A and B are shown apart, each in its own frame.
Chain A
């Protein structure tokens, strides 16, 4: 068959470099790079790797071209559904024109090795031939990318004139696809566009090379443009499109810099926005009713936990699927954990365990509790030339913390507590599987690693992920590979498990009821004593009530440090009432006072400044002190009876009873 081509057959390796296609007019070339820069910012990409193949439409339609970009690896996860695509394209067009105000364009040449060293590999588009000598274009604020050697660009980003997106829609009934569209399946964006000034001249090579930092900012793959109707509520649909795009950085400043990731929580938290950002689901009244039927209906508990009743656990992923299984009598297991960073646990640390204890009792299910002593060592461990490293310290913290956890009242026959240091060998096959499924890029995007992070830190997400899969507990679960997992956790831990959910199907048999995805139930943050923003830290003694505090400590801390939303004077308080949102004592009572009627009374009296029992801050603090004293005392009594031997029994690798 190859007879006609003996040359090609004989010398397959002598590949000549393919001649470059004819270059686009400078205005279209410039505009195409602006579109790529905008796509990167709107869709969470890097302008290089997203590519930008141009169709030479200008031959028949002067001033027009069509660009094809890939959004493979987008940080918009999950990628918005089709009904949001138009909003994305509107934002993309607006952002393109905003970037057109960027300024002077630099086109310069560099040796490949130097360029890669300085700017990394994000300068390339996927099909780049990567010649030894590169031509690079820098459009301020938009892109730094390699361009073909025969391309020329305009002198300034604004020279090409207004950029308009064309042919977004096709006539009803037509089988043709629109020229400008997002194709989610192929992860491609097509944009047919025109420029206002198609004959803008080419500029000579020159201009200033960007610094490494400037270049780095351009390849940051985060979503940098909030899209109306996708990221923020579309309150004014008639607003012109150009206002649709709003830089996230500006927005964050306006909102008091809410930051929520597994390592930091800052600013005033907008939980509705978190649900939107994270793509989780609000726990609806219907869902609560279903849970009530399963749990209270069985007689195992008398009522829903007050944190469910009060929306402190407010968000979930696939909890409805867990309920559906329960309704058919199918079991699941619970997974929670603790990073043993110190021997001193405070109330905030105990919350997830208190709730998990309720879940275990209410659903009558097995539970695994991971003690991430390895994690704490990787992030906080120390090395002393005299004494060596302090890994053993975290081992000890594990035992001490386990006592506090056990004191929450779990069912010993159904509960397995394990230290990563001890148990990792059992989980290693799954850890390696998760490692293989997660690229460095993904981990960096999800967990915020930098080049200076240690390799243990980047490997750790797998260690935290694998308890979500039943085969990590072959002995405790007696080989059951199908048991679905429910994870109660604070909402800031969600990013860990989002990645876990993405790869879960690779870790379980095909007929696993949730395809391996762990279900999640998220709680709000427990505010520190000193104010309702952020979450409680073990590092600040006065911001927390520790489980070892004496009744006097508790009284003193609440009296002295609990941030009050009450008014300065009795007169003012009587007139205006307290700011309940800001008042930590009231907020804490929402967590710890189980009596709904009493809480409502406090809310009414304190909030309005009226009534007798709870109209003032002092009275509310007194109530809180009473509740906490009792709670902590009870905890301390139980904990005192738990020996190291008792802990060893809970931590023994054994079959659980379920």
Chain B
């Protein structure tokens, strides 16, 4: 699973059409998400579905659902039907280990997955694709495997329930999934992989076979011990919309193996600090804010790099107000400020020019610093023993 999921930026295209694939996102004027739903053939998460989730879980939905940040799905309705009929589902997400620490873009799918886990009392499996990183990047397998364990600490710090969460490294766990991997591999041709994932002929043969390894956790029989031998538990995958093609392949293959198709719930892209039009780079420390950044670094990055939609001068801002669509501090607040009333107020005041860019940036700084402080405190508590517990092959409680 791409480590950059949840944060893809847009490149200018000359043709005017938008291209969204797991390895490339191109769109002229920002991604047209409604068009994407049509293009991908997924379904919009509408008010009825949101209301239904609230009814089923007996609680308000996560604000990202209300704000349509998680906006599209496949078979989520059926998942709720089954849930109501007493058939629980499990959640599957993942991360490609990397040397960098988590940034806010990484946090989005995990925070949302945690909410799903709590709301639906669902078991969760988290795949750390150390094998993938080794196959694609210039690092040793030992390094990739070690990073998986390091990254697990970050993930655990998001607050998952140890009784319900199984985190695994592919290198360590592959033997358990191998029968399903073989079944999937058998149903997918080299041509299909080339078509879906854009592999060329100089790609290595591991890259060609990897899609099966990413697909296997979508089927509960890959977890005979954690899911306690129930090979018919439906799977729900929260992911950024650009990851959809991976799981479309999985969904195509599922009936050929006698398995249920995994359901999906898609998020929009998390914009880079420099704006939705710039290419996000994990190696460019200025395009992201890390959960290891100090308060000074956070304020500095927001001040210097966050693209503003406000007027160039105080006068202009007062006269015309801010372009909220373009304004990264406001867009980031939509993600991380959980107070709807306060956010509405910012939109109102800032959009009308009664609030200055600096005030919004300060507000974002406060919010992020608060999140980072809590995260760092939580992460400090994650010992090697805790990691071991999350990563040991054991029956989950659900």
Question: Considering only CB atoms, which chain B residue lies closest to A375 in the complex?
Answer: B182
Secondary structure at chain A's binding surface: helix, strand, loop or mixed? helix
By a CB distance below 8 angstroms, the chain B residues around A452 are 189-191
Selected from A378, A449, A451, A462, the residue in CB contact (under 8 A) with B185 is: A378
A443 to B203, CA, bound (A): 11
Most buried by A among B141, B170, B186: B186
Are A437 and B204 closer than 8 Å at their CB atoms? yes
Are B258 and A436 closer than 8 Å at their CB atoms? no
Question: Considering only CB atoms, which chain A residue lies closest to B209 in the complex?
Answer: A459
Q: A424-B178, A439-B201, A455-B189 are in contact. Are A432 and B135 (CB under 8 A)?
A: yes
Are A454 and B189 closer than 8 Å at their CB atoms? yes
Tell me, yes or no, whether B202 is within 8 Å of chain A by CB. yes
Tell me, yes or no, whether A23 is within 8 Å of chain B by CB. no
Are A438 and B175 closer than 8 Å at their CB atoms? no
By a CB distance below 8 angstroms, the chain B residues around A437 are 204
Tell me, yes or no, whether B239 is within 8 Å of chain A by CB. no
- Mark interface residues in B173-188 (1 if CB within 8 Å of A CB, else 0): 1111011011101111
- Mark interface residues in A424-467 (1 if CB within 8 Å of B CB, else 0): 11101100110111111101100001111111111101100000
Are B186 and A438 closer than 8 Å at their CB atoms? no
Tell me, yes or no, whether A393 is within 8 Å of chain B by CB. no
By a CB distance below 8 angstroms, the chain B residues around A429 are 141, 171
Are A443 and B205 closer than 8 Å at their CB atoms? yes
Are A449 and B186 closer than 8 Å at their CB atoms? no
Are A440 and B258 closer than 8 Å at their CB atoms? no
A315 to B189, CA, bound (A): 36
- Mark interface residues in B156-199 (1 if CB within 8 Å of A CB, else 0): 00000000000000111111101101110111111101100001
Question: Considering only CB atoms, which chain A residue lies closest to B211 in the complex?
Answer: A455
A391 to B179, CA, bound (A): 8
Are A459 and B205 closer than 8 Å at their CB atoms? yes
Are A425 and B203 closer than 8 Å at their CB atoms? no
By a CB distance below 8 angstroms, the chain A residues around B83 are none
Q: A432-B206, A440-B203 are in contact. Are A455 and B193 (CB under 8 A)?
A: yes
Tell me, yes or no, whether A374 is within 8 Å of chain B by CB. yes
Are B182 and A455 closer than 8 Å at their CB atoms? no
What distance in Å separates the Cβ of A438 from its nearest Cβ neighbour in chain B? 5
Tell me, yes or no, whether A383 is within 8 Å of chain B by CB. yes
- Mark interface residues in B83-113 (1 if CB within 8 Å of A CB, else 0): 0000000000000000000000000000000
What distance in Å separates the Cβ of B391 from its nearest Cβ neighbour in chain A? 15
Question: Considering only CB atoms, which chain A residue lies closest to B172 in the complex?
Answer: A425
Tell me, yes or no, whether B134 is within 8 Å of chain A by CB. yes
Most buried by A among B175, B188, B199: B175
Tell me, yes or no, whether B332 is within 8 Å of chain A by CB. no
- Mark interface residues in B203-218 (1 if CB within 8 Å of A CB, else 0): 1111111011000000
What distance in Å separates the Cβ of A382 from its nearest Cβ neighbour in chain B? 10
Most buried by B among A377, A455, A456, A457: A455
By a CB distance below 8 angstroms, the chain B residues around A296 are none
A388 to B191, CA, bound (A): 25
Are A439 and B204 closer than 8 Å at their CB atoms? yes
Are A436 and B204 closer than 8 Å at their CB atoms? yes
By a CB distance below 8 angstroms, the chain A residues around B258 are 383, 385, 388-389
Tell me, yes or no, whether A604 is within 8 Å of chain B by CB. no
Tell me, yes or no, whether A411 is within 8 Å of chain B by CB. no
- Mark interface residues in A406-425 (1 if CB within 8 Å of B CB, else 0): 00000000000000111111
- Mark interface residues in A634-655 (1 if CB within 8 Å of B CB, else 0): 0000000000000000000000
Q: A383-B256, A438-B204, A440-B199 are in contact. Are A456 and B185 (CB under 8 A)?
A: yes
Tell me, yes or no, whether A381 is within 8 Å of chain B by CB. yes
Question: Considering only CB atoms, which chain B residue lies closest to A120 in the complex?
Answer: B201
A471 to B79, CA, bound (A): 45
Are A458 and B182 closer than 8 Å at their CB atoms? no
By a CB distance below 8 angstroms, the chain A residues around B135 are 432, 435-436
Tell me, yes or no, whether B257 is within 8 Å of chain A by CB. yes
Selected from B178, B187, B193, the residue in CB contact (under 8 A) with A421 is: B178
Are B186 and A456 closer than 8 Å at their CB atoms? yes
Question: Considering only CB atoms, which chain A residue lies closest to B173 in the complex?
Answer: A425
Most buried by B among A378, A425, A426, A461: A425
A422 to B208, CA, bound (A): 23
A425 to B176, CA, bound (A): 8
B residues 302-355 near A (Cβ < 8 Å) are none
Are A391 and B201 closer than 8 Å at their CB atoms? no
B residues 214-257 near A (Cβ < 8 Å) are 256-257
A383 to B170, CA, bound (A): 26
By a CB distance below 8 angstroms, the chain A residues around B201 are 121, 439-441, 444
By a CB distance below 8 angstroms, the chain A residues around B154 are none
Are B205 and A435 closer than 8 Å at their CB atoms? yes
Question: Considering only CB atoms, which chain B residue lies closest to A435 in the complex?
Answer: B206
Further 14 A-B residue pairs, CB within 8 A, beyond A388-B258, A462-B206: A121-B201, A374-B182, A389-B183, A391-B179, A391-B182, A425-B173, A425-B178, A432-B131, A437-B204, A440-B205, A440-B208, A441-B202, A455-B190, A459-B209
Report which B residues bind A (CB closer than 8 A). 131, 134-135, 141, 170-176, 178-179, 181-183, 185-191, 193-194, 199-209, 211-212, 256-258
Report which A residues bind B (CB closer than 8 A). 121, 374, 377-378, 381, 383, 385, 388-389, 391, 420-426, 428-429, 432-433, 435-441, 443-444, 449-459, 461-462
The 9 closest A-B pairs by CB, nearest first: A425-B175, A435-B206, A456-B185, A459-B209, A451-B191, A428-B174, A455-B209, A441-B201, A432-B131
